[in-house]
Amino acid sequence: MVAENGTEKTNQEETNNVLKSTQTVIHKALEKLGYPEEVYELLKEPLRMMTVKIPIRMDDGSIKIFTGHRAQHNDAVGPTKGGIRFHPGVTETEVKALSIWMSLKCGIVDLPYGGGKGGIVCDPRDMSFRELERLSRGYVRAISQIVGPTKDIPAPDVFTNSQIMAWMMDEYSRIDEFNSPGFITGKPLVLGGSHGRDSATAKGVTICIREAAKKKGIQIEGARVVVQGFGNAGSYLSKFMHDAGAKVVGISDAYGALYDPNGLDIDYLLDRRDSFGTVTKLFNNTISNKELLELECDILVPAAIENQITKDNAHDIRAKIVVEAANGPTTLEATEILTDRGILLVPDVLASAGGVTVSYFEWVQNNQGYYWSEEEVEEKLEKIMVKSFNSIYDTAQTRRVDMRLAAYMVGVRKMAEASRFRGWI
């Protein structure tokens, strides 16, 4: 099983800050665009939030009650869309913030969706295959009224994968009494999944790295790359950078980090990695995640969890470009410090939008019942990511704002306009 994103845990205070920072940047972006305050009032929280209790019979015969959430941020543009994470650190606030980021991502890559997000408080690392199946099906039954191919379309996220999507699709199809592949994306190919979905987030990040490197005059060939997190995004990305001739000098998982100034043997590490992206436990001479982030390199890619680059370590980052493959790895204070230091920061809502872009392709293919080749998917993703990167880069230059604010400005615009045309504000 391959999990969609990175690992580790975040605490309540950190997630509250994550939501607050998102709201702060949305407010700034709307102000810059000249929208009145009520637009902010509409967009600062999800339109809908559902919390459910899911009773599951465990393998030992006991019953355990799990808590799940689903947030639907804004559906003015179209149905909401976004992943489901299985993680012990999931909170209502985190799911809310993540749904807002999904809206921004969809706005940035110009998809006909708003943002949604789901999460179940659980630790899949301690659960059996069958327990996970029962939990996945139970969650779909609990939220079935508010989701659907034209309402809200889930996908993988932290610690969920194509097998979990398959169970969820099957459960929804039974409830709907129709085969409904368009209910969820990130499915296995044989159930209507799309070519290129598994590696889509990393492909999008790779395109952003290439475009950012051009702006900074850095050659990818021989560039030193550090990747924090070896989940879906981090592992594929390390492979793509390695294959493009870059030197991946550092990688990490939830338990530690590996460093080799001559470049790590990425193929070996991929081979030894477990389904949750863990690999460093096999080595003795590891370094800490903190040391990893402060390594001298050309490109640093935080691909794990929130709040990794903060005001405490932003001054010690020695990369020329930081590309956020994870959701929310850099705080607002740190964004300012990095930007002031001349480091080009490519924000999460742009860099990680490749995943939802190919999810959209998957949904389109499901709706039309006609499937595309891998080349077609790649070509379409490439076009969208290059265009989105450049429109945000240009906005940052012309409006003299950092890349994060520029991305939010591009991301909220369509949502705000659609809400206005619908007569909501």
Residues that bind ligand GLU (CB under 6 A): 4, 81-83, 105, 155-157, 185, 327, 352, 355-356, 359
Identity of the residue, 295 or 415, whose beta carbon is nearer to ligand GLU in the bound complex:
415
DSSP H helical ranges for 66-199: 92-108, 129-143, 162-176
Q: Are 232 and 240 in contact (CB under 8 A)?
A: no
Smallest gap from residue 107 Cβ to ligand GLU (A)? 13
Residue 109 Cα to chain centre, angstroms: 14
CB of 366 to ligand GLU, least distance (A): 13
Nearer to ligand GLU, 115 or 256 (CB): 115
Decide if 320 is catalytic.
Answer: no
Residues 153 and 184 sit within 8 Å (Cβ to Cβ): yes
- Listing DSSP states for 17-53 in one string gives HHHHHHHHHHHHHHHHHT--HHHHHHHSS-SEEEEEE
Residue 8: exposure state from Cβ atoms within 10 A (0-12, 13-18, ≥19)? middle
Of 6 and 83, nearer to ligand GLU (C-beta) is 83
* Residue with smaller CB distance to ligand GLU, 324 or 402: 324
Going by C-alpha positions, the residue among 79, 8, 113 that lies closest to residue 328 is 8
Q: Which residue, 162 or 289, has its beta carbon nearer to ligand GLU?
A: 162
Q: How far is the CB of 165 from ligand GLU (least distance, A)?
A: 10
Which runs of E-coded beta strand occur in 266-324?
A: 299-302, 321-323
Name the residue number minimizing CB distance to ligand GLU: 83
Tokens encoding 311: 């005001």
Strands 48-57 and 344-346: unpaired
For ligand GLU, the closer CB: 119 or 250: 119
- Cβ contact 152:115 at 8 Å: no
Shortest Å, Cβ 378 to ligand GLU: 17
3-state DSSP assignment of residue 164 = helix
| Nearest distance in Å: CB 246, ligand GLU | 24
Residue 5 CB, shortest distance to ligand GLU, in Å, is: 7
- Among candidate residues 202, 45, 107, the one with its CA nearest the CA of residue 407: 107
The active-site residue out of 96, 117, 247, 320 is 117
Centre a 10 Å sphere on the Cβ of residue 96 and count the other Cβ atoms it contains. 22
Q: Which residues are catalytic?
A: 117
